[in-house]
Amino acid sequence: MGKAITTRELAAADRQLVRLDPADFVPLPPPYDGAEGQPPLRSLTESQKQRLDDSLDGFTALRLPHPQNREEEEQLVRRFLDGVRRLLSADDNWTFLGPLMLRLDYCAKCQTCAEACPIYLASGRQEIYRPTFRSELLRRIIKKYLAPGGRIWSGFQGADIDLNWRTVARLGELAYRCTLCRRCAQVCPIGIGNALITREIRKVFSQEMGLAPAELHRLGTVQQLKTGSSTGMTPAALMDSIELMQEEVEEKTGMRFEWPVDREGADILLIHNAGEFLSWPENPEAFAIVLEKAGISWTLSSELVGYDAVNYGVWYDDVQFARIARRHAEVARKLKVKKIVIGECGHAHKALTVVADRILGGEFNIPRESCLTLLDHLVSSGRLQLDPRRNDFPVTLHDPCNIVRLMGIVEPQRRILRRIAPGFREMSPSGTQNYCCGGGSGFAIMDGLNFPDWRSGVAGRMKFKQILEAFAGELHPSVPKYVCAPCSNCKGQLRGLLDYFHATRKCGIYYGGLVELIVNAMADIEQPFITFDAELIPAVPA
């Protein structure tokens, strides 16, 4: 069990508050039950430590530089408090004021949520990762520094916290130790969601102080709005990429067809996470094949932002969120499509379909639908010729939090898998109770310094445990196994996780999307669409 830390200790001087020891982490099943299950966690180098604050747990997501003088320290605290004040304002924070007030007012600190948190559990129950810990910090700061009643009343309510630049810096960093999976909220007897408070802290840092991880803000939403994609892919680069993918599809399947781009009046505007074009082109290729085979009227967009479903704002900044959501809707409106279908990207699902539902009014309120719903419809309707024997290898399903727990799309992907993958088995727990992959809330793309070690070693540990358990008894590398993760961010995390634990080489575990499995099962395509290591490709039964 982790060391007890009080909220007061956050203000304490230079030392690193918590030192993680992999020996404390939750044990993994064989073959990771010994030292194999505990790859080392890298520390920052001395020169990095000289520049950046890592005083929380030795990792840094925000990459906050040490203040150079007292004035900078005081400014940091002042701006933080200004931001917290805005959180409580109906104009500045109409987006989440109501839920925030309820969360600040009613936590009974029963700690039921802690046992649901994959990060808290995986870390060996580190106090600082307890879902209530960071919420309580914000609550106590508000009670002591902003609420009426004076120090005696706030002290009676436990607000013993001292606010200095270290408290602020550690709290900001702590807001990036939660994947916003909201499993904690699901078990809260009072209905409190600590993840929202985490997000609100991120919001103060971004919207008031201009501080956010570079991958989310500067290289994320800002780049997306300016160049068209969070990957930096411009419209011209997109068209090149589409041309390459068309050629690849022809090579793999013999199918030659032009991908529709900017086709006005199409039934569907399909928006992928642009990371797919760069990292997993087989995913958009598989979508194109399925839609072509099913005879669907669809199009991609080459307008700025219109070809990247990413909306990182949903993790840290309402203004950036609104800007991107509106841009997506505007592109669809101009193309006069009947609906937007969101590709295999979990946070894009939740952002555009659900959260933006109360931002997109009038002409921008274009209907939005999940690709999983569409794919389920196509598979069930018999418009595709499918032979499940082509997917004759063990398959398990990862439920992306944003699509499943936060949006209620649970069965379509299962109906598809039950139909096309005879080796399908569930993880435990699954569905709305599933564990986050550990890459949620932007972690999957945050690759700076030593953060990936924390992400794989701690945040993704419970997911890795689930995967090993789902394939128990079949972990020999000669048996290729497929973790189906219909979400770009989850795939990014799985890529890192499997690398970190060398799980493909040691256990034959692969990952990929759902639509690739559908194409792999298509009876009228000769070659397998999914390729494992050459010698491991399973033979198609006669």
**Through-space distance between the first and last CA atoms of the chain, rounded to whole angstroms:** 54
Q: Taking CB under 8 A as the rule, does residue 80 contact other proteins?
A: no
Q: Taking CB under 8 A as the rule, does residue 77 contact other proteins?
A: no
Cα 91 from Cα 71, distance rounded (Å): 30
Give least dist CB 175 to other proteins, A: 15
Residue 483: strand pairing partners: 396, 511
Instruction: Name the helix (H) or strand (E) containing 299.
Output: strand 298-299
Q: Which two tokens stand for residue 106?
A: 């009613």
Task: Kindly list the distances between the CA atom of residue 253 and the CA atoms of 19, 245, 257, in Å, as whole numbers in the listed order.
Answer: 52, 12, 11
Q: Taking CB under 8 A as the rule, does residue 217 contact other proteins?
A: yes
The DSSP-derived string for 124-152 is: TS-GGGSHHHHHHHHHHHIIIIISSSHHH
Choices 38-46, 49-57, 87-95, 239-247 (CB under 8 A): range interacting with other proteins: 87-95
Give least dist CB 19 to other proteins, A: 19
> Which of residues 31 and 158 has its CB atom nearest to other proteins in the complex?
158
Give least dist CB 189 to other proteins, A: 4
Give least dist CB 98 to other proteins, A: 3
> Which of residues 238 and 406 has its CB atom nearest to other proteins in the complex?
406
Q: Taking CB under 8 A as the rule, does residue 88 contact other proteins?
A: no
> Which of residues 339 and 425 has its CB atom nearest to other proteins in the complex?
339
Site string for other proteins, 355-374 (x = CB under 8 A): xxxxxxxx--x-x-xx--xx
> Which of residues 295 and 362 has its CB atom nearest to other proteins in the complex?
362
CB 151: neighbour CB atoms within 10 A?
11
Query: Could you tell me where the DSSP H helices lie in 204-335?
Result: 223-227, 235-253, 275-279, 282-294, 313-316, 318-335
Give least dist CB 102 to other proteins, A: 5
Give least dist CB 252 to other proteins, A: 28
Which 161-190 positions form the footprint of other proteins (CB under 8 A)?
A: 182, 185-190
Query: Could you tell me where the DSSP H helices lie in 204-234?
Result: 223-227
Q: Taking CB under 8 A as the rule, does residue 196 contact other proteins?
A: yes
Site string for other proteins, 114-153 (x = CB under 8 A): xxx----------x--x-xx--x-----------------
> Which of residues 123 and 320 has its CB atom nearest to other proteins in the complex?
320
- Closest to 490 measured CA to CA, from 522, 518, 467: 467
Amino acid at 445: I
Fill in the DSSP letter of residue 407. T
Task: Please state the length of the chain.
Answer: 542
Give least dist CB 179 to other proteins, A: 15
Which 389-428 positions form the footprint of other proteins (CB under 8 A)?
A: 404-412
> Helix 194-203 and helix 97-106: axis angle, to 10°?
120
Q: Taking CB under 8 A as the rule, does residue 210 contact other proteins?
A: yes
By CB under 8 A, the count of residues binding other proteins is 101
Site string for other proteins, 296-325 (x = CB under 8 A): ----------------------xxx-xx-x
CB 189: neighbour CB atoms within 10 A?
9
Q: Taking CB under 8 A as the rule, does residue 208 contact other proteins?
A: yes
Q: Which two tokens stand for residue 265?
A: 């009046």
> Which of residues 63 and 103 has its CB atom nearest to other proteins in the complex?
103
- Closest to 358 measured CA to CA, from 331, 318, 330: 318
Fill in the DSSP letter of residue 337. -
